[in-house]
Amino acid sequence: MAWGKTLAKLFANAALGMFSLIGELDRVENRFTTQVAVDGNDYEDLLVTWLNELLYLFEAEGVLLKEFTIQDLGQYYLKGIVSGEPIDVAKHTIHRVVKACTYYEVKVEKIRPQLWRAQVYFDI
């Protein structure tokens, strides 16, 4: 479950939540930055696709991400800048592998003005 004052914050917070499941983020520094752009069929699909794109970066680039800036978010696309640090096993603690973000009971809802909530399940 993730919350945000805006839809953009919600997507950023969901990503931060996912990476806190993967590893300890306190000692992750800002040494890697990349641009991410994804699209979807609706906000739910967009959220799942966004998180899976970040999981791909984690495994393929071997990076722990901790900062997520959403630059552009519309129906239904997202562009953002993400940053973190290449994994160094001597420095970073990795908790677990998240295989994927699933579509199971995925929800993106505005629960009141200035408060969005999302729910996703991960396969670990």
Q: Which is nearer to other proteins, 12 or 92 (CB)?
A: 92
Restricting to residues 65-94, which ones interact with other proteins according to CB under 8 A?
Answer: 87, 89, 94
Least separation in angstroms between residue 81's CB and other proteins is: 19
Q: Which is nearer to other proteins, 93 or 114 (CB)?
A: 93
Does 97 engage in binding with other proteins (CB under 8 A)? yes
* Euclidean distance between CA atoms 3 and 19, whole angstroms: 15
Query: What order of strands is seen across the sheet that includes strand 115-119?
Result: 2-4, 115-119, 107-112
Residue 84: name the closest of 20, 2, 8 by CA: 20
Does 109 engage in binding with other proteins (CB under 8 A)? no
Instruction: Calculate the CA 37 to chain-centre distance.
Output: 12
Residues in contact with other proteins by CB under 8 A are 41, 45, 48-49, 52, 55-56, 59-60, 62, 87, 89, 94-97, 99-104, 106, 121, 123-124
